Structures are given as structure tokens and as C-alpha cells.
């Protein structure tokens, strides 16, 4: 199903093609494609080149590990994420390794890595759905994640399924139109609330 964005200004075709489905085909992601997605995340920009992110990964070909990570998601996300090919937890270090000082932009840098990953996945015919709906306490206990790390998000990677073959409520979400704020709503100039467009 095509859900290509209709931007007000020209953007790269991969950005226009990227969207986050709820309906996934229950099939594995090829290891080379997955490695390329993670390699794209590796090359994201980060403050002082710190690369403060860590991913915990589970693929559906290892059902025990996949079920383990799936159980760290909120139930509403488990309903659809169970069909994805790959699940990732996105985690950041709270401090710079170079000097131990707090890294207040670590989550920003994780977002850049996720953006790279998403665009690489789109280029490879995959879909990515990021989610905040996780149980961080359960993640920490399940995987022994130290307190020096913050568990931020989860990511599902896989092949988008036709909404016709999926749960009707999820299909309705996937068929919904795409919308975004206009530039005038979020780009200010001079002072807060004064639109630049």
C-alpha cells in the first residue's frame, strides 16, 4: 500500500515514502538487510561522536528471544508488533564516556540513529514503526540494563502487510491519511510564537 507524503516543499523520495505501519507480514527480515539498517544507525551524527545509543535486538527466527522482548512492550503494541520481523529496544547512556558528565542530548542522538535506520529500511523495502509504549522497568529487569542507561523506545522492523489481510482496527489505522503540521506552525523567527513562514 502506498502512503507517499504530499509535501508542501520538495523533499527526498525516501522521506516521502517512509511511514509507520501497524500491519506487518509475519516474516523474517533478511540478515543482510537488517545489518544495513543497523549500519545506517551506526553512522548517525552524535554529540562529540559519542554514539550514546545501544540496541537490544530480537528476531522472529529466535522465537524465545522475540517473545522475551515482545513482553517488554505495552499490551497495545504487542498486538501488532508480534508480526514484525525484528524488535529493538533503544537505550542511551546518561553520561559521556569521555568525561563522565551528563549527556543531555543522548536521546536526541538516539533519534538521529533511528532516523538513519528508518530511511535505510525504507530504501530496502522494509518498514519501521517506532514506539514509546514500553515498560522500562520490565526491560531493565529482563535484560539487566544498568541504571547508568535510560531505556527510551522500541522499534519494529519488517514488511508492511496489506490492511485487507489484517486486524480491522489496525487496518483502519494503516488506511488513514497522512498529515503534518505546516512550517508556519513550528518554525518561529524573532520570538516564540512568531511564525517564520
Residue 87 CA to residue 170 CA, distance in Å, equals 18
Residue 82 CA to residue 163 CA, distance in Å, equals 16
Q: What would the grid cell of residue 59 be? A: 528476531
| DSSP 3-state of 194 | coil
pLDDT for position 1: 60
Q: Which residue has the cell 489481510?
A: 165
| DSSP 3-state of 34 | helix
The kind and range of the H/E element at 175 are helix 168-175
pLDDT for position 170: 85
pLDDT for position 162: 87
Going from the first residue of the chain to its last (197 residues), give the mean pLDDT of each consecutive group of 10, the final group possibly shorter.
86 94 96 98 98 98 98 97 98 97 98 98 98 98 98 98 81 88 96 97
Assign a CATH topology to domain 13-170. NADH Oxidase (3.40.109)
Q: Around 155, how many Cα atoms within 13 Å sit in the side-chain half-sphere? A: 27
Amino acid at each position: 500500500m502506498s502512503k507517499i507524503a504530499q509535501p508542501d516543499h520538495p523533499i527526498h523520495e525516501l522521506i516521502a515514502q517512509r511511514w509507520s505501519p501497524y500491519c506487518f507480514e509475519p516474516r523474517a527480515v533478511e540478515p543482510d538487510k537488517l545489518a544495513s539498517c543497523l549500519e545506517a544507525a551506526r553512522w548517525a551524527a552524535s554529540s562529540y561522536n559519542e554514539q550514546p545509543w545501544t540496541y537490544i535486538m530480537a528476531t522472529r527466527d529466535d522465537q524465545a528471544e522475540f517473545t522475551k522482548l515482545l513482553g517488554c512492550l505495552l499490551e497495545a503494541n504487542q498486538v501488532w508488533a508480534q508480526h514484525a520481523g525484528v524488535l529493538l529496544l533503544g537505550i542511551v547512556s546518561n553520561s559521556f564516556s569521555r568525561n563522565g558528565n551528563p549527556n543531555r542530548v543522548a536521546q536526541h542522538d538516539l533519534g538521529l540513529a533511528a532516523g538513519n535506520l528508518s530511511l535505510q529500511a525504507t530504501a530496502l523495502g522494509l518498514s519501521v514503526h517506532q514506539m514509546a509504549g514500553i515498560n522500562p522497568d520490565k526491560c531493565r529487569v529482563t535484560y539487566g540494563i544498568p541504571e547508568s542507561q535510560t531505556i527510551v523506545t522500541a522499534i519494529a522492523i519488517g514488511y508492511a502487510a496489506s490492511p485487507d489481510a489484517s486486524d480491522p482496527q489496525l487496518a483502519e489505522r494503516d488506511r488513514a491519511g497522512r498529515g503534518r503540521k505546516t512550517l508556519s506552525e513550528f518554525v518561529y523567527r524573532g520570538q516564540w510564537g512568531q511564525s517564520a513562514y
